[in-house]
Chain A
Amino acid sequence: MKFIFEQPPVVRNLTLLLLAALFLLPTVVTSPTLLQIFILIIFYAYLTSSWNFVGGFAGVLPLGHAAFVGIGAYTSTLLYLTWGISPWIGMLVGGVLSMLVGVIIGLPTLKLRGAYFALATIAVGEGLRVLVENVENFGPFNVRGPKGLLINLVPDAPFSAFQFQSKVPYYYIILVMLLVVLYLTQRMMNSKIGYYLAAGGEEPEAAEALGIKVSRYKLIAMAISCFLTALGGTFYAQMFLYFYPKSIMGLELSYEIAFIALIGGRGTILGPVVGALLLRPVSELTRIYLSSTLPGLHLVIFGLVLIVVMRYQPKGLIAPLRQLFENRIIPRLSRRSARSGAVLPSNND
């Protein structure tokens, strides 16, 4: 958390205020539907931030991340349903498994140019979905093909069962998960790997010439990304207690993750959060109110927003927001706090 305290006081105070607000939110928002929307926003921000490790920093475009969400969800749930292993443990097993799959895919494909990588990830994602849809039993595990898995409700569920009567615990779990992944993102950006990846993403040949093994660092980023994404999958499974291959491994989810990142701003810490904050409510609301009369409208809006944002803000919406924040809001707030006798923030531009 050191990086928060190294910021100018205004930024630091705003961040702490925002964090406090996020943690107190469930005490104000009591409607489960509304809280669910918040949970989903945070969940998508989490998935997108996990995607960001490889999609944002490694300069490639993974379009099959739903596969890793699926690996996470299926692993923990199958372990739980078959052997009664706590989903908390299954979550980590799923993460490791997903990491292995990610590395196996990444090993040959991350050496290729972006277009090939994008196509390869689509093929892996879709291939895995088709595989799961066609398998009824996998060893001792009953995968149930396209019917999906249903997690039975445990009466007076202990914490180890990872299921809760109220939405509030889910909210806190995913919030903490998001904060952790944002923290990791920040750490990674300012680490050796981060710098190497930035160099490799922009000028792979030049970076290689300097002795940086770009594809090795891309592979590390891929491994982290796949691990984190799978944890999200377990969360999804435990939150809804029911999922099927199309819902959790489909191309639509993979694209949605990439879209959120691109609209928000990939390769930035808060870009995925901004993207999820903007797009999730749109898709939730249009799904709730318009899906019966105009199915598909939310996806039209999704696509149009994407085209317009890419046209006018190709680096995502985080760029103009940051400018607004740095040029307008911070100076104004600083002036106010200066007038009220607070310490003047150091201008470190």
Chain B
Amino acid sequence: MLGFIESLLNGILMGSIYGLTAVGLTLIFGVMKVINFAHGSILMVGMYAAYWVVTKTGMNPYLALLVVVPFLFCFGYLLQRFVIKPIFDAEKDVREPITVIIVTTGIWYVLDNLALILFGAEYRVAKTSVTGKMFEFMEMYFLVPKLIGAGITLLCGVYLYWFLKHSRTGKAIRATSLDREAATLMGIKQSQIYNIAFGLGAACCGVAACVLIPFYYVYPTVGVPFDIKAFVIVVLGGLGSIPGAILGGIIIGIIETVGAQFMAATWTELLIYAVFLVVLFVKPSGLFGLRQDF
């Protein structure tokens, strides 16, 4: 029983980190109606950035947030501004921009394989002050970096939610996601909002990257499993919904960790796809999705 609770809690911890990457994805989708297939690759870029910052300067990984997150915001912003925007403009009247989806896939290929060429295929581990530290609570053990990571990601999720609800930029982002034309008529610069939304989506990956780096490997295709999980999570939670993404992330984290108690890890992967398909068949709009969104 204790083992079950332990894995349940561990699932929630890991799931909150999945949730944060999914928040980034869902934010971009909500605003631009584009699935960012390069999302996992952006996470990978963030993890390499965090890895280099931590190993070269010996900086505390959580302090590295201050470097990596702005860097990833700029990375996402520029990626959107200079690579995606020209293509998006060409088909902005199309309700379902497919070309843009494909271009983000192209970006995924380029980034992942560029990382393979530049950094090699080996798995890297960053030794930090918290790496491998365990926290004991009522005979249950938790990795300290996972605990800290979950705390930070939940804070970020809450902050982002508040930001979107109450700040001026956040309101503009929400307005644009509700109705592009009306928002433009209200004087909101649509392209600027897209850039910011994409930057914020990438910044979420930056946070996730920094909290992952003390206990997770980095390798060129590290983004792919996260990417696919993020897709599953956003559909589970409802495309475009931030609370849905966090909750979906936690559900996926729980399935994965609790499932691993009873079956081989590769089977839990299958379980995730099965859950995804069941949700898709039964309630395609997801747990928190709006009906008109799909």
Interface residues of A, Cβ cutoff 8 Å to B: 61, 108-109, 112-116, 118-120, 122-124, 126-127, 130-131, 133-134, 251, 255, 258-259, 262, 294-297, 299-300, 302-304, 306-307, 310-311, 314
Q: Kindly list chain B residues whose C-beta atoms are within 8 Å of the C-beta of A130.
A: 266, 269-270, 273
> A134 touching B266 by the CB < 8 A rule?
yes
Q: Kindly list chain B residues whose C-beta atoms are within 8 Å of the C-beta of A303.
A: 105-110, 113
> A127 touching B277 by the CB < 8 A rule?
yes
> B83 touching A126 by the CB < 8 A rule?
no
> A115 touching B269 by the CB < 8 A rule?
no
**Partner among B106, B231, B274 whose Cβ is within 8 Å of the Cβ of A310:** B106
CA distance A130 to B232 in the complex (A): 15
Q: Provided the pairs A108-B280, A108-B281, A123-B277 are in contact, do residues A134 and B270 lie with their beta carbons within 8 angstroms?
A: yes
Taking CB as reference atom, which chain A residue is nearest B100? Answer: A310
Closest Cβ of chain A: how far from B189's Cβ, in Å? 22
Within 8 A of A (CB), among B26-80: 29, 33, 35
Closest Cβ of chain A: how far from B105's Cβ, in Å? 6
Q: Kindly list chain B residues whose C-beta atoms are within 8 Å of the C-beta of A307.
A: 83, 103, 106-107, 110
B222 part of interface (Cβ distance < 8 Å): no
Q: Besides the contacts A113-B294, A303-B105, what 14 more A-B pairs have beta carbons closer than 8 Å?
A: A112-B284, A114-B98, A116-B284, A119-B280, A130-B269, A134-B267, A258-B105, A259-B102, A295-B121, A296-B117, A302-B106, A303-B113, A304-B110, A314-B91
CA distance A116 to B274 in the complex (A): 15
CA distance A61 to B99 in the complex (A): 10
**Partner among A108, A123, A297, A306 whose Cβ is within 8 Å of the Cβ of B103:** A306
B130 part of interface (Cβ distance < 8 Å): no
Taking CB as reference atom, which chain B residue is nearest A133? Answer: B266
Q: Kindly list chain A residues whose C-beta atoms are within 8 Å of the C-beta of B274.
A: 127
CA distance A242 to B224 in the complex (A): 26
CA distance A108 to B284 in the complex (A): 9
C-beta contact mask, B257-294 vs A, less than 8 Å → 1, else 0? 00000001011011001101100110010000000001
CA distance A61 to B105 in the complex (A): 12
Q: Provided the pairs A134-B266, A306-B106, A307-B83 are in contact, do residues A126 and B228 lie with their beta carbons within 8 angstroms?
A: yes
B181 part of interface (Cβ distance < 8 Å): no
CA distance A127 to B35 in the complex (A): 20
Q: Provided the pairs A113-B294, A115-B96, A130-B269 are in contact, do residues A302 and B284 lie with their beta carbons within 8 angstroms?
A: no
> B273 touching A126 by the CB < 8 A rule?
yes
